[in-house]
A and B are shown apart, each in its own frame.
Chain A
Amino acid sequence: DIQMTQSPSTLSASVGDRVTITCRASQSVSSWLAWYQQKPGKAPKLLIYKASNLESGVPSRFSGSGSGTEFTLTVSSLQPDDFATYYCQQYNSYPFTFGPGTKVDIK
């Protein structure tokens, strides 16, 4: 199985900050990687698919990059609505696996 790790596990930031979350895979997943945002009590929301493709309706301040085993999610200017937990997920091969999550909270 492909193991996914994320860093940091928690990130304290302020509105307007540029924020970067890193996701690493235990083996290459090519570009078959997605990023999700989850708020308390809500279902996850797809932000990025195929490593760098912005899902329809997602603000352009979100961007993704990387391939192979190392990926990043960047929020160019953090907004109040962006405080949440972020998960990466590989869908290169079954079993699909998620990272443990990165919680972005208010500094």
Chain B
Amino acid sequence: EVQLVESGGGLEQPGRSLRLSCAASGFTLNNYVMHWVRQAPGMGLEWVSSIRWNNGATVYADSVKGRFTISRDNAKNSLYLQMNSLRAEDTALYYCAKDKAGSGSSGFDIWGQGTMVTVSS
């Protein structure tokens, strides 16, 4: 079964760091573009970051650029999001998502269940 399982969320203070993980099963993560998408409580979806399979190129939303880093570990078939200098506005449910495409994009066809990040003092 094709599946994504996120972990690593929790309650953290402003200015601190968290590392989210996303374990893939049923497919080889390295063959696809992978994404992080977040959803603040009661709000819509916000794309956060993407990593391309072929060259590992990364892209970020302006709201997280310079603070978040997306990466992958091919041996562990896992995706990560290192979140530094956390802000209250980063509070959201974070989803990892698989793209249908290996390059470019064709829509996000597999999503994890999400991991909640709460930033509060």
**Could you list which residues of chain B lie within 8 angstroms of chain A, going by C-beta atoms?**
35, 37, 44-47, 50, 59, 61-62, 95, 100, 104-109, 111-114
Contact flag A50-B106 (CB < 8 Å), given A94-B50, A95-B61: yes
Specify which chain A residues have a CB less than 8 angstroms from the CB of B105 in the assembled complex.
32, 91, 96
> How far, in whole Å, are A38 and B62 apart by their CA atoms in the complex?
25
Specify which chain A residues have a CB less than 8 angstroms from the CB of B35 in the assembled complex.
96
Interface size on A (CB < 8 Å)? 23
Q: Does A71 contact B (CB under 8 A)?
A: no
- Contact present for B45 and A49 (CB under 8 Å): no
- Contact present for B44 and A46 (CB under 8 Å): no
Having A49-B107, A91-B106, one finds 13 other A-B pairs with CB under 8 Å, namely A34-B108, A43-B112, A43-B113, A44-B95, A45-B111, A50-B107, A87-B44, A87-B45, A89-B108, A91-B104, A91-B107, A96-B35, A98-B47
- Contact present for B47 and A95 (CB under 8 Å): yes
Query: 4 closest pairs, A vs B, by CB?
Result: A49-B107, A43-B111, A34-B107, A91-B105
- Contact present for B46 and A98 (CB under 8 Å): yes
